[in-house]
Amino acid sequence: MTTIHPSSAAVLPAPANEALTPVAPDARAFGWRDHASLWFSLGVGLLVMQVGAYLVPALGTREALFAIVVGSIVGAGLLAWWVAKLGCDSGLASAGLMHAVYGSAFARLPILLNILQLVGWGTFEIVVMRDATVAIGGRAGGGAAAGWWPVAATLLWGGLLALLVSGSMVRLVRQLVARVALPLVVLSLLWLTRQFLGMAQAQGWSALWNRQGAGGMSGPAAIDLVIAMPVSWLPLVADYARHGSNGRAALRGTGLGYALANSWCYALGVLVALTLPSQDLVTALLLAQGGLLALTLILVDEVDNAYGDAYSGAVSSHSLLPRWSIRRWGPAMVAVCTAFALVLPMHSLEPFLLILSSVFVPLFGVILGRLAFGADAVALLARTGKAHAVPIAIWFAGIATYHACREWAPAAGAALPALALSFALAFATRPRA
Q: How confident is the model at residue 433 (pLDDT cuts 50, 70, 90)?
A: low
CA–CA gap between residue 355 and residue 225 (Å, rounded): 11
The 3-state secondary structure of 71-101, one letter per residue: HHHHHHHHHHHHHHHHHHHHCCCHHHHHHHH
Q: What is the pLDDT of residue 432?
A: 74
Q: Tell me which of 81 and 65 has the higher pLDDT.
A: 65
Beta bridge partners of 13: 2
Give the pLDDT band of residue 10 (cuts 50, 70, 90): very low
| Distance in angstroms (rounded) separating the CA atoms of residues 256 and 252 | 6
Confidence (pLDDT) at 1: 44
Cis peptide before 417 (omega within 30 of 0): no
Q: Taking residues 171-187, what's their average pLDDT?
A: 84
Collapsing DSSP to helix, strand or coil, 106 comes out as coil
Answer for the pair 57, 213: CB distance below 8 angstroms, yes or no.
yes
Q: Which amino acid is at 74?
A: V
pLDDT tens-digit map of 121-145: 898 889 888 888 888 877 666 555 5
Q: What is the DSSP letter of 431?
A: P
* CA-to-CA dists, residue 76 to 40, 70, 91, 117, 255, angstroms: 11, 10, 20, 19, 5
- 3-class secondary structure for 177-199? HHHHHHHHHHHHHHHHHHHHHHH
**Quick one: pLDDT at residue 11?**
43
Q: Are 35 and 257 in contact (CB under 8 A)?
A: yes
Range 395-420 average pLDDT: 90
Residue 5 — very low, low, confident or very high, per pLDDT cuts 50/70/90?
very low
Predicted pLDDT of residue 7: 44
Beta-sheet pairing, 11-13 with 2-4: antiparallel
By residue count, the chain amounts to 433
**The pLDDT value given to residue 277:** 75
pLDDT at 27 over 50: yes
pLDDT-based confidence at residue 12 (cuts at 50, 70, 90): very low
Q: Which amino acid is at 290?
A: G
Query: What pLDDT is recorded for position 357?
Result: 72
Least confident range from 96-110, 315-329, 366-380: namely: 366-380
Percent of the chain with pLDDT over 70: 92
Q: Is the pLDDT of residue 155 over 70?
A: yes
> What are 102-105's contacts with CB under 8 Å, separation 24+?
102/366, 102/387, 102/388, 102/391, 102/392, 102/395, 103/384, 103/385, 103/386, 103/387, 103/388, 103/392, 104/384, 104/385, 104/386, 105/386, 105/387
The alpha carbons of the chain give a radius of gyration, in whole angstroms, of: 22
**358-367 pLDDT tens trace:** 899 899 999 9
User: Rounded to the nearest 5 degrees, what angle is found at the Cα of 235, between the Cα atoms of 90 and 324?
Assistant: 80
Which of 68, 96, 106, 45 is CA-nearest to residue 307? 45
Mean pLDDT, the chain, rounded, equals 87
- Residue 280's pLDDT band, with cuts at 50, 70 and 90, is confident
For residue 376, what pLDDT is reported?
85
pLDDT category at 6 given cuts 50, 70, 90 is very low
At 4, is the pLDDT very low, low, confident or very high (cuts 50, 70, 90)?
very low
- Kindly list the structural domains of the chain, giving each domain's residue range(s) and its CATH number in brackets, ordered by start: 29-102+109-348 (1.10.4160.10)
What φ, ψ does residue 245 adopt, rounded to 5°? -90, -15
Q: Give the span between the Cα atoms of 10 and 1, in whole angstroms.
A: 14
The residues, any chain, with a CB within 8 Å of residue 78's CB and separated by 6 or more, are: 227, 230, 231, 234, 364, 368, 419
pLDDT category at 3 given cuts 50, 70, 90 is very low
> pTM for the full model?
0.88
* Statement: residue 226 has pLDDT above 80: yes
Q: Which has the closest alpha carbon to 430: 392, 397, 391?
A: 391
The predicted-structure confidence for 315-326, as pLDDT tens digits, reads as follows 999 999 999 999
Element (H, E) at 24: none
